[in-house]
A and B are shown apart, each in its own frame.
Chain A
Amino acid sequence: MVLEETILTPGKPAALLRARRAGTLDWSTVALNVALPVLGVVFALVLGAILLVILRANPLAAYAALVNGAVGTRFGATQTLVKATPLLLVGLGICIAFRANVINIGGEGQIIIGALAATWWPLAFSTWPGWLLIPSTMIAGFLGGAIWGFIPGILKARLNVNEILSTIMLNAVALQLMNLLLQGPLMDPAGVKARTFLAQSAQLPAQVWLPRLVPRTLLHAGAIVAVVLAILVYVFLWRTTIGYQIRAVGLNPHASRYSGITVPTVQALSLTLAGAFAGLAGTVEVIGVQHRLLEGLTSGYGFTGIVAALLGSLHPIGLIPASILFGGLLVGADTMQRAVQVPSSLVDALLGLVVLFVSGSALWSRRWAARRGIGAQRDQESGVESDRDSVRESGQESGQGSGQEEAP
């Protein structure tokens, strides 16, 4: 019954048109999209402080150490940007996927596969000059991640496999694949010779290392690449036909289908792109920071990238400050652990609370928007929402979806 109503309601095309116009700025919406996430972070920090008091740690000292670590020193501040870079890249992919209403939890695995490709390529073509090797390595990493996003994408499009579950499983597969290669063909020959057998690759040829932006820090040119890509993704999502289709599918899959968009293909494409951007995140970690592949490279960026994307309201430009914020939290958490012995996992727990808060506040912001008349007709606004929710089912079992919805 959802089906008939939403498709036949004349307001539906308006919803799509609104999606097209969403690129133009509505300042009160922007304010709301900034205020709610900030509130979420504050809320999480307050809860964290209460928790620290219960655990007999000093929350003020802990947070002071955190802020000081993140921005207090020149090295800390550049480290914040170093960590923000992969978060931004992963988050861009998450934006694209979530906009198409595809939940990509596979960032970790896609980062790994991208990093694997970005390690293998320069080692295999180590004689190439830097101007050729750097771009080609980035393409290799991009494609590597894309493959790891394409698998769940095609499984969802063709066989109705739930992408949340398949991407989670593929994370584990990618991790083992990396272990396998690091203990075999990719293992550092120097380590084999010295009989240390460390699970890491050989150092990459120096001409593939990304140039450092600030001397004696780890800040590398990948940060600039990430910001440029954020702008490109914005243009892609709001100024191209495919980008429009991606957003339309996310807003209303039924209406999209009726207007001739191949919903499964668009969703598979958005998952592939999400994987590609995560792969690029792995690439810049390898050629920008570590200069080799080693275990623990992902550092949970695949998950933190989701938080950053949500906090940036799934907007590529909003993602830039959001990923810097989380980069700072990650850097500060390490300082906090060293300085006042509060485990850095506090920040992990707080990130979870932020996600819960932001996802839970969507209802309020929707109602608020409806009251202000942004949505014009509240019914349609909520109709869009219930369609968003049903997309996963109809995507999963299209054979059953229609029958069921017609029954009542």
Chain B
Amino acid sequence: MKNVFSVAVISGILNTMVGLATPFLYAALGETIAQTSGVVNLGVDGIMLLAAFTAFAVALFSGSLWLGLLAAAVAGLLLGLLMSFVSVTLKAEQGVSGIGLYMFGLGMSSLLFKILIGTVKTVQGFPPVAIPLLADIPVVGPILFRNNVLVYGAFLLVPVVWWLLEKTTLGLKIKSVGQNPAAADSVGISVDGIRYLSVCLGAVLAGIAGASLSISLLNLFQDNLTAGQGFIAVALVYFGGWSPVGVLGGALLFSVVNSFQLWVQVLGVKIPSSVAVMLPYILTIAALTVTINRMRQPAALNRPFERGET
């Protein structure tokens, strides 16, 4: 057990954590925007899967990672439009339509993968970029400042989403349709329009989350690549109390536990791997029970808006 807590291992755990947190950050920050507008998009995992495939396939066939990333964002956007149409325009029960979107993404990504690619292939993902000076700081440097573009992007997104929601007019509108759509409607804000925008923005970020798995972290695609990470991202939004900083905390906590269990297995500590894999999920359930910031939950969350109804 003693070598689990050596400096090398701890920095290894933290380094893995930063990578693992990346898809969660994109997906959960996107979901934060969608939920702030009052729409629960439970289909994040499906979007991530289809976008991960799209990014991988485009990168594989065109040789351009950036084109792959763009394609993933477009795939996310299209699925976001589908989700908004069903949940905002048709006012479907969001928990159910989200599951439909998930099943569609899961089946579709697997179908396209089997038809278009078929075998296990890998791509050369985004290379790590060392930030001059900062990367040379001992211990912290390699952990934080020797990562690839998508990892930096994920962490930069935290203040960006915070700024969007807290400091811009658009953010105010998003919050108002999430808190009191009738009032927002009465002052001329298009509730449906803002919700479409928020869901699509979230879906594009979920698409990038998928791409971060297939062309930056794992650099491959297989059936059910995400293994439910999209659902955990949704849970992180609740855990983080609908605040980007809270989501960051949740993503880091979840990832550090996950990273710890990976390292424990690598080091051959005698814990059955199933118990180790189970840990983060149990932690998530535990975290959901102690969520402190429930007061911040958008009042109209999960509630479709129809004029003259409330």
Contacts and interface: CB of A to CB of B under 8 A. Distances in A.
Interface of A: 1-2, 5, 55, 57, 103, 105, 155, 159-162, 164-166, 168-173, 176-177, 179-180, 183-184, 303, 306-307, 310, 343, 345-356, 359-364, 382-383, 386, 388-390, 392-393, 396-397, 400, 404-405, 408
A117 to B, nearest CB: 18
Closest CB pairs A-B (n = 10): A348-B107, A352-B104, A355-B100, A349-B107, A352-B103, A345-B110, A360-B90, A180-B274, A359-B92, A356-B100
B297 A161 contact: no
Given A303-B99, A355-B96, A347 B310 contact: no
B303 A356 contact: no
A404 B300 CA distance: 10
Interface in B156-186: 180, 183
Nearest to B183: A408
B108 interface: yes
Contact of A161 (B223, B275, B289): B289
Interface stretch (B18-26, B133-141, B142-150, B280-288): B280-288
Summarize A's interface: helix, strand, loop or mixed: helix
Contact of B278 (A5, A177, A383, A393): A177
A173 B111 contact: no
A116 B86 CA distance: 38
A359 B278 contact: no
Interface in B96-132: 96-97, 99-108, 110-112, 114-116
Interface of B: 42, 46, 82, 85-86, 90-93, 95-97, 99-108, 110-112, 114-116, 180, 183, 223, 228, 231-232, 234-235, 238, 272, 274-275, 277-278, 281-282, 284-285, 288-289, 294-295, 297, 299, 301-304, 306, 309-310
B91 A363 contact: yes
Nearest to B227: A172
B289 A349 contact: no
Interface centre among B90, B234, B275 (most CB of A within 10 A): B90
17 contacts: A55-B112, A103-B93, A161-B285, A179-B274, A306-B96, A345-B107, A345-B111, A346-B111, A348-B106, A348-B110, A353-B100, A356-B86, A359-B86, A359-B100, A362-B91, A386-B306, A393-B303
Contact of B274 (A169, A176, A388): A176
A349 B53 CA distance: 14
A182 to B, nearest CB: 9
Contacts of B302: 389, 392-393
Contacts of B99: 105, 303, 306, 355
Contact of A164 (B82, B95, B101): B95
Contacts of A355: 96-97, 99-100, 103-104
Contacts of B90: 359-364
B272 A180 contact: yes
Contacts of A155: 285, 288-289
Contact of B306 (A168, A184, A382): A382
A362 B302 CA distance: 15
A121 to B, nearest CB: 22
A57 B278 CA distance: 41
A359 B111 contact: no
A393 B296 CA distance: 12
